[in-house]
Structure 1
């Protein structure tokens, strides 16, 4: 294997690593590009004291920490204020806010065993919570708890002591426990229950069947729509929103299944006056054994390409 091939095999996991740090797929891809540029320029000085993979992760983490000196944290609507109650009174899109972005699972090319752990640490609730941590604390948690680096190695990389790393890790874990749901709260149902739930959701949404959706949403479900700051909490308020925004009518909309952040997702297309189905939003679902407990609907058709999806399509097929 030549150097170019060795670098390339780590691209997907490096993008995932930078995404955890930055909360943005586009920023993560830019950071990995910068990582490779630095690696190519500095390879002659690589002493081989660690693996090439570890060396690339060190460069990528440093690139991310530099980027975080000049950027604000990535947000979700629920982090900005209280939920809304009137679906006819949505705030205008807040394009000045740095919003969290979804991560396409198709970028993960690791072996199946590694993918399971990677996806757990990529869940939207986890990445959203990570954004609340100071950059160095965020790096410590990712390097220690996700990549399982020894405290001494992290300390050497960050030019601090192992005791300081462990103290930072404890604070980061405590803050994450406060912000992020516990593992059991988002444990998905087993197949085929999971498959049936997703099929029923897609059918109900395409048909604007609010009665069916009511049976699929949990009582405490949450609906968020970045870059729209207004969000809705609780099944009744979410259903009121959907009653206004998801109008009945055969063939009005289609959902195309995909996967983001280790979670089920759907690309929502709406039929225009030209008869073409145009990209509307990308819904990332959190599902539990009780049903759909959260939907982050990213009103960003420009994200579709990252998921290998067209921004428009001629038919439902």
Structure 2
């Protein structure tokens, strides 16, 4: 089979396609013939060596995967089942490949409503949104929710999820993405290029931060008393945590985890027509470097997906 690997840290050009032995599925695992691979901004940062989650090269990036079960060593699936998921994160899943061995528990059956491309785009962003808004944020009907970066991968799913939970959804997005995020269900859109969200938003129950920078700290002023900030990008900022606690606010950091129960809940929303995954662009396997150039450019609308 072919894999995409890198021998050194650096720009998109370090990603190379090589031949490698097929992985072996162990008991409780399945071997998946990959049809599509979802790409995430984290992978560009790992490729460059911003932090050593996977250690030193060589390594194979990738977690979001959709494909067909080739061999099943688990009672959960049979050969021929179409499945998708986010196996093993944050350990290496080696998903930039034509074949992937993964724990059956980390995958779910792909619904007919999702293509392999759309399914591959969902797990990381969908589970981050679910774990942030449902498991940590506890969002319920009537809550006022502010989502930073509503046009991006996590943000565009989070808008739809918050709406499905019955929340009033406010999001920050550029004017070029206004129509997009309103189409997803955003009740209010704050154009961050012209308006300071810290002045435009108030009495917020839950803030979901997908951006980093100073967005989390500046969100302190928009929360109601006892409000809750959930961040996917500043979860270990001890000084910021102390600042929120001193102000009587809740602070939660999320590092996304595989969760088949939540993934099936997201599938149910897809089947009910309450959630759709937006893919900005797809690239063939051979154009991985071009895909990473788009990925690291920022300002994406939804996700970027690699087809196999």
Radius of gyration: which is bigger? 1
Give the TM-score normalised by the residue count of structure 1.
0.25
Q: When you count helix as a share of all residues, which structure comes out higher? A: 1
Q: When you count strand as a share of all residues, which structure comes out higher? A: 2
Give the TM-score normalised by the residue count of structure 2.
0.26
